[in-house]
Amino acid sequence: QQQVKQSPQSLIVQKGGISIINCAYENTAFDYFPWYQQFPGKGPALLIAIRPDVSEKKEGRFTISFNKSAKQFSLHIMDSQPGDSATYFCAASRAFGNEKLTFGTGTRLTIIP
Amino acid sequence: ETGVTQTPRHLVMGMTNKKSLKCEQHLGHNAMYWYKQSAKKPLELMFVYSLEERVENNSVPSRFSPECPNSSHLFLHLHTLQPEDSALYLCASSQVRGLAGGLYEQYFGPGTRLTVT
C-alpha cells in the first residue's frame, strides 16, 4: 500500500516536444504529491507539488495532472529543452503529521536536439 | 554555505573499515533524514530525526548508526559494511510543522557516493 509506481524508466524526447511521466499510487491516505528533479552529481530538488483538491497545477513549462479516482498523477514538461535532461522522481505522502515520502523509481529523461 | 551540505562527496572503504558521513543543513529546519539511493530503485528512507529525536528507523542493519547532535547536523557512522551497501547516500532536511498542519518540502544535499570494496 505504500508503493508508488513510476513509468517509463527512461524517456527520450526531441527538443520542443512534450515529456510525460506517469505515476500511480495505492495508499488512499496520500494527499501530497511532489515531483523531484535530479541532475548528475546533485541531490533531488523539489520541482513542483500538488494536493488532491485540484486536478492540475502549472508552473512555467511544468504541469502536474492529478486523477484522484484513478490514483494517478503525471508530470508534463512542455517545450522540452536539453537543460531538462535529468532524472525525475515522483513521490507521495500524507501532508500533515507524517514526514515520510514514498518515492517512485525515477525516470531518466533525455532531450535531444 | 547554503542549503544542505554533505561530506565527503566520495568515499571508498573496505569492509573492515569504520567511517562517518556528515550532513549539515543551513536552512533552520527541525527534521533531518538519511536516504539510500541505488540504481533503478526508489529512494530508500533509512532514518528520520525530528526535533533531534529519532522517529524512524526503517529496519536498517546495525552496521549503519545515525547520530543527530543538534538540529543542524546529522551523521551516519559506518562499520563492517558489505559490497551491496555501495550506493549514493543522501541527506535531507525539512521544517516539520507537525499535526498543526502545513506542507513540508524536503531539501536534499548532493550525496556521498560510497563504494565498499
| B102-116 tens-digit pLDDT | 456 889 999 999 999
Q: Say yes or no for a CB contact (<8 Å) between A49 and B105.
A: yes
CA proximity to A35, closest of A86, A92, A112:
A92
B102 touches chain A (CB under 8 A): yes
| pLDDT tens, residue by residue, B40-51 | 788 999 998 887
Q: B85 to each of A25, B33, B40, B61, B106, how far by Cα in Å?
A: 28, 17, 15, 10, 24
Listed in sequence order, the residues at least 6 apart from A69 whose beta carbon sits closer than 8 Å to its beta carbon are none
B40 touches chain A (CB under 8 A): yes
CA proximity to A56, closest of A80, A76, A28, A36:
A76
A53 touches chain B (CB under 8 A): no
Phi, psi dihedrals of residue A84, rounded to the nearest 5°: -85, -10
> Which pLDDT score is estimated for A100?
77
To the nearest whole Å, the CA of A100 is away from the closest chain B CA by 8
Question: Which residues of B fall within a CB distance of 8 Å from A101?
Answer: 43, 45, 106
- Write the single-letter amino acid at B2: T
Of A43, A104, A106, the CB nearest to B110: A43
Place of cell 528533479: A37
> Which pLDDT score is estimated for B102?
45
Of all residues in chain A, what percent are helix, strand and coil, respectively (each to 5)?
5, 55, 45
Q: Burial, B80: exposed, middle or buried (Cβ in 10 Å; 0-12, 13-18, 19+)?
A: middle
Question: Which residues of B fall within a CB distance of 8 Å from A44?
Answer: 43, 90, 108
Residues 71-110 of chain A whose Cβ lies under 8 A from any Cβ of chain B:
89, 95-97, 99-106
Q: Given phi > 0 = left and psi -120 to 50 = alpha, else beta, which region is B9? A: alpha
Which pLDDT tens digits describe chain B residue by residue (117 residues)?
579 999 999 999 998 889 999 999 999 998 899 999 998 788 999 998 887 777 777 789 999 999 999 999 999 999 999 999 999 999 999 887 655 444 568 899 999 999 999
Place of cell 522517529: B55
To the nearest whole Å, the CA of B3 is away from the closest chain A CA by 11
| pLDDT tens, residue by residue, A48-63 | 999 888 899 999 999 9
To the nearest whole Å, the CA of A5 is away from the closest chain B CA by 9
> Which pLDDT score is estimated for A93?
86
Cα B19 off chain centre by = 14
Q: Burial, B6: exposed, middle or buried (Cβ in 10 Å; 0-12, 13-18, 19+)?
A: buried
Beta bridge partners of B89: B36, B112
A48/B42 Cα distance (integer angstroms):
19
